[in-house]
Copies of this chain bind each other. A is one copy, B any other.
Amino acid sequence: MARVGMTEVAARAGVSVTTVSHVLSGRRPVAESTRTRVLQVIEQLGYQPDTLARGLRTRRTMTVGLLVPDLTNPFYPMVLRGLNDVLVPAGYHAIVCDTDGTREQELAFLREMATRRVDGMVIAPFQLTRKDLLSHAKAVPLVRLGDGPLDADLGDLVSSGGEDGMAQMVRYLLERGSRRVAYIGGPRHTGPSDRREAGFHRALAEAGRVAGDDLVIRGGFTRDAGREAAEVLLNRADRPDAIACANDLIAIGVLDAARKLDLSVPGDLAVTGYDDIDAASLVTPALTTVVNPAREVGRACGEALLRRLTADGAEPYREVVIANSIVRRDSA
């Protein structure tokens, strides 16, 4: 049951491999009669072209890399769906790299993708610096996902307006009557975290307030990290009456902490998340959060990538911002 190659197809059809290649690619006219004959043989032999060999020659692997910090965060699987929505119909497939948010793994995956000659990458980098990305960016189209810094050299950027989304949320908290609003973010210097934190500060500033450092804690983007941060915040004498979190997982952790301390939410403490993952509406109280349309974001990434991959000339750099909005539930 060895695999059949083009040579065998050609032989059986009584034509040259060149012709077989062309009926497959349609890159040059082939007489209808030979065309059908070749097609028949292909069918009969169950011939399947070898993407690798083709890629070696054409320098296109039809593969893209998706690098995410934590596939366990439901946001990212949805992004992958969106990405596939646009990439798969175009013949591309994605290799998913779950880096666990560590710098070593991010770098390792980046290198791996380079040796695999992926045609492009969409990355949600956490620890990577501009310098880390630069060399890759010039080798293959890069789409950065998340609210990183703008930087044309690093390729397209698809974000969901994290700064605005968070600002909007904080404004809502203020209007609602919260007096001391705190912020729990992700790891420092990570795009999404920084941008959202900026939104937090901006909204406060616009309202003529300032959040002291004691009201901002940064940890991980996880439930545990959220709980721990909240415990610190809530055990202080002048505890906040609202906590805006950089994502839903963190907010769920805050809910855990509040429950443990017997604080009522939103009575004693208002809590807000970010992303609107499924779990946000499952917890009690249901989370008031910023909806981050993951699938749309993924689609936008795919479109951005595709644009570059199929571009004749050099496409101009783009930043795509997907609109987001607040969904009010019970936690604030």
Knowing A98-B81, A252-B282, say if A56 contacts B52 (CB, 8 Å): yes
Q: Mark A94-133, 1 if CB is under 8 A from B, else 0.
A: 1111100000000000011011110000000000000000
* Bound CA–CA A78/B76 (angstroms): 13
Closest CB in chain B relative to A111 CB, distance in Å: 7
Q: In the complex, which residues 41-75 of chain A have their Cβ closer than 8 Å to any Cβ of chain B?
A: 48-53, 55-56, 61, 63, 71-72, 74
A282 to B253, alpha carbons, bound, how many Å?
Answer: 10
Residues from chain B with a CB closer than 8 A to the CB of A84 are 98
A49 vs chain B, min Cβ distance (A): 6
Give me the interface of A with B, judged by CB distance under 8 Å.
1, 3, 48-53, 55-56, 61, 63, 71-72, 74, 76-78, 80-81, 84, 93-98, 111-112, 114-117, 138-139, 223, 252, 278-279, 282-284
Of the candidates A51, A76, A111, A117, the one having the most CB atoms from chain B within 10 angstroms of its own CB is A51
Q: Provide the bound-state CA to CA distance between A283 and B116, in Å.
A: 42
25 A-B contacts (beta carbon < 8 Å)? A1-B138, A1-B139, A3-B139, A48-B111, A48-B115, A49-B115, A50-B56, A50-B115, A52-B56, A52-B61, A52-B117, A53-B56, A63-B116, A71-B77, A72-B77, A72-B81, A74-B74, A77-B77, A77-B98, A93-B97, A94-B95, A95-B95, A95-B96, A223-B278, A282-B283
In the complex, which residues of chain B have a beta carbon less than 8 angstroms from the beta carbon of A63?
95, 116
- Selected contact of A112 from candidates B93, B117, B138, CB within 8 Å: B93
Q: Which residues of the partner chain B approach A112 to less than 8 Å between Cβ atoms?
A: 93
In the complex, A128→B112 CA distance in Å? 32
Measured in the bound complex, the distance between the Cα atoms of B55 and A53 in whole Å is 9
Q: How far is the CA of A61 from the CA of B56 in the complex (A)?
A: 13
Give the residues in chain B near A139, CB-CB below 8 Å: 1, 3
Determine the distance from Cα of A72 to Cα of B116 in the docked complex, in whole angstroms: 27
B93 touches A116 (CB 8 A): yes
Question: In the complex, how many angstroms separate the beta carbon of A42 from the nearest chain B beta carbon?
Answer: 13
